[in-house]
Structure 1
Amino acid sequence: MALLWLFVLLFLAKPVGGTWDTCRGTCGLRPMAFDHSSVVAEYSQDNDYDSLDSSDGTAEYTDNSAGVHPGAWPGVISVQATWDNGTWHMCSGALIHPQWVLTVAHCFARAGDISRWEVVIGATDLSQPGPEAQLRHIQTLVVHQHYDPRTARNNIALLELDQPVECSDYIQLGCVPDRSLAVSALKTCYIAGWRNTPDSGQSPSPRLVLQEAKVRLIDVQLCNSSRWYGGAVHPQDLCAGYPRGGIDTCQGDIGGPLVCKDNTGDYFWLVGLASWGKGCAGAKRPGVFTSIQQFHTWIQVQMGLLPPEADAAPPEPFPSPEEESEGDLEDDMNPNPDDSEDYSKVSFQQQILGKFLNLLLELLQFLKGEKA
């Protein structure tokens, strides 16, 4: 019996895939972030949005053209493809597990050989990723089975990386909300994407740096009204920006994350992925984002955390904030990144249990052989 316990202790002391010791089952953290009240301009309905020149589609972020400081958004990743004329940033995404990235299906409409694609994690300047960045190849591409490129319905995809990443101050996991979170009640939201810096000029290798902007969630019914998007926004979508425009996602931002700070905790929720929009930063034309909450079960199924039949049933309606306040215990379990059964923690437990049972079986067979 003492031998068995020693065996168990040695096994548990060994990190699984080198990821548990670095990611620690947390999500939504920003160790390197400054106080956003001082670095990101906050716009309100009374601001003069017309003073922001967005006619060329390049002024939709705040005027911090040099980009955010390193590590400001540790969950944002760059999906890149290598062609005969070089390696190019194709779209953005979010790291949600040491070995899984969430992005949009539209990015891979004409992907071709996926082995020529790779993922850069932990970078702020794509031309100079720095020692804190990590590069991974794509092992598996999972596009939503009902993705419609014509209407952008179900515009979501998962990338399984060839190796797990190691979390650090510059690399953190995004928090994927389940139905218990009242996303519409979140007040402090941001978008982030890569932009050419002014000093790039006509350089054949432009300097792409990560930039950020503060946005507001816009009621989907208003966003879908006749003077806005006229019914083109799906129930699985979110709208974010400002009614008068000026701040928006644009070309090159596809798959970029929409994140919102938790109303009580010091962490951020990954609520959307940049999906589509008409023009850039126009009035009544905010960015349209795939609502990640709507695909929570699909994500778990694709990652092997739930059986396939779990995604077969039609999605349950999302409760309003009023209904949530009167909900049962399940609705009260608003996950905290430090103590929730998030993807990293569930995956770790499954690996621990599976490997422990296999090793226990081997030990029992060994002991049986000794007795014989």
Structure 2
Amino acid sequence: MKQLYLIFLFVRVLFSASESSDHAVCGNRPLVVDFRGSRVVGGKNSEPGNWPWMVSIQEHSEDGEYYWWRLVFGANQLSNKEINTQIQTIQEKFEHEKYYPELEQNDIALLRLNQPIVFDEYTQPACLPAEQAVLSKMADCYVAGWGAPDETSIKPSDILHGVPVNFIPVEGCNKPNWYNGAVGNYNLCAGYEQGTFDTCQGDSGGPLMCKRRKANFYTVVGITSWGSGCGQKQRPGVYTSTQYYLKWIFEHISDNTKPKSKNYKK
């Protein structure tokens, strides 16, 4: 598996300053009034604006010869050239210096864009968890992505899918008949013991998003990293913990441009 990248818009300074300050608060979803969703694998189609910090990283080519990455913001259905989408290229990438692909340790990287992003109803920055946040108290969790609908599928999904998941303690994920110690303290586990709903191939880099029951915004607590199959019993999704890497993330953001809004404290 290649090293994943954060394919959601989580810290606006990393991607350059926004040209609009009206939508600058993390976790804002202007088009969602009261989202409950369906109660990725087993997921249902998301409506435009449900998860406005989702970003699609695509390999693009010119005349079938020169290839480069492009990032599509504000998209829901990838085949539909929606007027609300923004396409950007990458100026710089920051790979974790201790990434170990054999064990998927430190499976995280950051991308800096060439141009500023305009925040609107379809494109918003996500919140990161505070260092002192107790993640186990966040009960309302979702994963989202354009990945394959199941492990037998060849093509990814054209429409963004989202599905609810439950936190599973790391010690539970590391039981002998589960992942047998392969899950690190820098990881989170989420899904269901019996399988069904899960992330799959093509979802890597997407967010694990949770909130407290009475909160009005979601926090990106994890990044889709790896798993055994898709939706299999006792094989939940394994995620890179953003809380564990807060210091590393902010070390790559200049001191004079750190955001001051909620959940960005070191």
**TM score, norm. by length of structure 2:** 0.83
Tell me which moved more, 77-86 or 180-189: 77-86
Question: 1:61 aligned to 18, 39, 42, which one?
Answer: 42
Question: 1:224 aligned to 154, 158, 174, which one?
Answer: 174
Distance in 2, Cα, partners of 1:163 & 1:193: 24
What is aligned with 1:340? 262
Contact kept? 1:33, 1:73, Cα under 8 Å: no
1:299-358 CA distances to partner (integer Å, 9 max, x unpaired)? 01112238xxxxxxxxxxxxxxxxxxxxxxxxxxxxxx9953738xx9xxxxxxxxxxxx
The one-letter code matched in structure 2 to 1:76 is M
- In the alignment, does 2:101 pair up with 1:149? yes
- TM-fit CA distance, 1:34: 5.2
What is aligned with 1:268? 218
Question: 1:40 aligned to 38, 41, 44, which one?
Answer: 38
Distance in 2, Cα, partners of 1:254 & 1:181: 24
What is aligned with 1:21? 21
- TM-fit CA distance, 1:86: 6.2
- TM-fit CA distance, 1:83: 4.0
Contact kept? 2:129, 2:264, Cα under 8 Å: no
Contact kept? 2:148, 2:201, Cα under 8 Å: no
- TM-fit CA distance, 1:85: 8.1
| Unmatched runs of 5 consecutive residues or more in structure 1 | 1-15, 42-57, 88-112, 307-336, 347-372
Larger Rg: 1
What is aligned with 2:29? 30
The answer to which structure has the higher helix fraction is 1
Distance in 2, Cα, partners of 1:172 & 1:157: 20
**TM score, norm. by length of structure 1:** 0.61
Contact kept? 1:118, 1:135, Cα under 8 Å: yes
- DSSP-derived class of the 1:300 partner: helix
Contact kept? 2:139, 2:166, Cα under 8 Å: yes
- TM-fit CA distance, 1:206: 7.8
- TM-fit CA distance, 1:82: 1.8
- DSSP-derived class of the 1:140 partner: strand
- DSSP-derived class of the 2:21 partner: helix
Distance in 2, Cα, partners of 1:251 & 1:85: 27
Question: 1:71 aligned to 44, 49, 65, which one?
Answer: 49
1:218-267 CA distances to partner (integer Å, 9 max, x unpaired)? 01100111111000001100000000000100111111110002344200
The one-letter code matched in structure 2 to 1:21 is S
| Unmatched runs of 5 consecutive residues or more in structure 2 | 1-15
Taking a change above 3 Å as real, the CA distance of residues 142 and 187 of structure 1, as seen in their structure-2 partners, is: same
What is aligned with 2:60? 82
The one-letter code matched in structure 1 to 2:34 is D
Distance in 2, Cα, partners of 1:30 & 1:86: 37
Contact kept? 1:27, 1:338, Cα under 8 Å: no
Distance in 2, Cα, partners of 1:272 & 1:167: 23
Taking a change above 3 Å as real, the CA distance of residues 34 and 281 of structure 1, as seen in their structure-2 partners, is: farther
- TM-fit CA distance, 1:166: 0.9
1:117-149 CA distances to partner (integer Å, 9 max, x unpaired)? 111111001111411111110000101001001
Taking a change above 3 Å as real, the CA distance of residues 129 and 185 of structure 1, as seen in their structure-2 partners, is: farther
Contact kept? 1:195, 1:209, Cα under 8 Å: no
What is aligned with 2:230? 280
- TM-fit CA distance, 1:185: 1.3
Contact kept? 2:167, 2:190, Cα under 8 Å: yes
Contact kept? 2:26, 2:262, Cα under 8 Å: no
Taking a change above 3 Å as real, the CA distance of residues 74 and 296 of structure 1, as seen in their structure-2 partners, is: same
The one-letter code matched in structure 2 to 1:130 is E
Contact kept? 2:187, 2:238, Cα under 8 Å: yes
Q: CA RMSD in A?
A: 2.9
Contact kept? 1:34, 1:72, Cα under 8 Å: no
What is aligned with 1:241? 191
Contact kept? 1:71, 1:122, Cα under 8 Å: yes
- TM-fit CA distance, 1:17: 5.0
Taking a change above 3 Å as real, the CA distance of residues 338 and 157 of structure 1, as seen in their structure-2 partners, is: closer
What is aligned with 1:175? 127
The one-letter code matched in structure 1 to 2:32 is A
- DSSP-derived class of the 2:80 partner: coil
Distance in 1, Cα, partners of 2:260 & 2:198: 32
Pairing of 1:316-355 with structure 2 (within 5 A): 339-340=261-262, 342=264
- TM-fit CA distance, 1:295: 0.5
Identity of aligned residues (%): 36
